[in-house]
């Protein structure tokens, strides 16, 4: 019999061979263990409907608004922000995503309005005080994103003129006052063929202040109610917007 002239395997080579097998076995065990399997199971990671994401993609990709800004108002953990940033990256769109949030939860004046005038419970309005603009920025940079701008401010006091003409905006601030303030500030800056998507336009719901603000805004301008997905609504600035604003009556349409 011939001699085995192969050099003895050192510890590093052995570890390199065994580690993938150990990791695969550990994942297989975790996937089948109820206490450990949750992070590995399929889940929907977004707080907005697929219809909302699809409409934002459509607005971002609208070829007639390529000079307009893309804005997200109400960022929370930035999960939807990553979706839009990845879309911008994979389509080669150089525009930055402008992200606006207090990063400290709802403002005191907005909470007072909800509790005093809309019969909402204060404890339901304390869910978003964990935010941090610095943590979000660091996380996005670690993911390789560079084309973004974070504005840590109340959307009612943002200098919208500094942001400029707007092509696509996602408004997810839940409450009546900040939603209405955003719509009134953005509408004059919205480019023709641009649009706004407002989340949580359903009732009854703790965040149905969005619906009240949206309904008030479109009724004042005789704009149609546009349902987007299961719970969002939209406003589009097309060539007939000004004509509709002078007309009466409302139509309701649905975006699939």
pLDDT for 249: 40
Please tell me the predicted confidence (pLDDT) of residue 30: 77
pLDDT at 10: 60
Average pLDDT for residues 209-237, to the nearest whole number? 96
- Using one digit for the tens of pLDDT, what is the confidence trace for 73-126? 999 999 999 999 999 999 999 999 999 999 988 888 988 888 888 877 777 766
Find the mean pLDDT for residues 13-25: 81
| Contact in structure between 110 and 74 (CB atoms under 8 Å) | no
| Domains in the chain with CATH codes | 1-43 (no CATH), 50-255 (3.40.50.150)
pTM of structure: 0.81
- pLDDT(29) > 90: no
Q: Which of 81, 108, 112 is nearest to 97 (CA)?
A: 81
Measured distance CA(174)–CA(210) in Å, rounded: 5
pLDDT band at 26 (very low <50, low <70, confident <90, very high): confident
- DSSP 3-state assignment of 220? helix
Count of residues making up the chain: 256
Can you read off the two tokens belonging to residue 195? 């649009």
Q: Which pLDDT score is estimated for 246?
A: 42
- Residues contacting 203, CB < 8 A, separation 6+: 211
pLDDT in tens, 190-205: 999 999 999 999 987 7
Q: Containing H/E element for 20? A: helix 11-31
The answer to whether residue 5 scores a pLDDT higher than 70 is no
pLDDT tens-digit map of 136-184: 999 999 999 999 999 999 999 999 999 999 999 999 998 999 999 999 9
Instruction: Please check the confidence at residue 248 and state whether its pLDDT lies above 50.
Output: no
pLDDT band at 9 (very low <50, low <70, confident <90, very high): low
Residue pair 231/198 in contact by the 8 Å Cβ criterion:
no
Mean pLDDT across the stretch 57-72? 96
- Residue 235, both tokens: 């406003």
Mean pLDDT of the chain: 87
Average pLDDT over residues 228-252: 67
Note the pLDDT of residue 240.
56
Q: CB atoms < 10 A from the CB of 147, how many?
A: 14
Q: Can you give the pLDDT at residue 20?
A: 82
């Amino acid at each position: 019999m011939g001699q085995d002239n192969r050099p003895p395997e050192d510890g590093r080579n052995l570890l390199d061979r065994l580690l993938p097998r150990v990791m695969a076995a550990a994942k297989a065990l975790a996937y089948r263990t109820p206490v450990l399997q949750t992070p590995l199971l399929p889940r929907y990671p977004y707080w907005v409907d697929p219809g909302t994401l699809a409409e934002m993609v459509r607005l971002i990709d609208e070829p007639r608004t390529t000079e307009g800004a893309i804005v997200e108002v109400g960022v929370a953990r930035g999960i939807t922000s990553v979706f839009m940033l990845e879309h911008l990256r994979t389509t080669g769109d150089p525009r930055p995503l402008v992200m606006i949030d207090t990063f400290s939860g709802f403002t005191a004046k907005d909470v007072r309005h909800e509790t005093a005038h809309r019969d909402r419970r204060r404890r339901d309005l304390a869910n978003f005080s964990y935010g941090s603009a610095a943590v979000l920025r660091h996380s996005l940079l670690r993911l390789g994103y560079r084309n973004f701008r974070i504005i840590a401010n109340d959307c009612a006091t943002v200098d919208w003129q500094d942001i400029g003409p707007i092509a696509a905006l996602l408004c997810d601030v839940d409450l009546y006052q900040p939603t209405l303030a955003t719509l009134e500030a953005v509408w004059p800056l919205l480019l023709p063929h641009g649009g706004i998507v407002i989340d949580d336009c359903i009732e009854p719901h703790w965040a149905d202040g969005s619906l009240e603000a949206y309904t008030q805004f479109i009724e004042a301008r005789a704009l149609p109610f546009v349902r987007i997905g299961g719970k969002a609504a939209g406003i589009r600035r097309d060539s007939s917007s000004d004509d509709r604003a002078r007309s009466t009556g409302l139509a309701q349409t649905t975006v699939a």
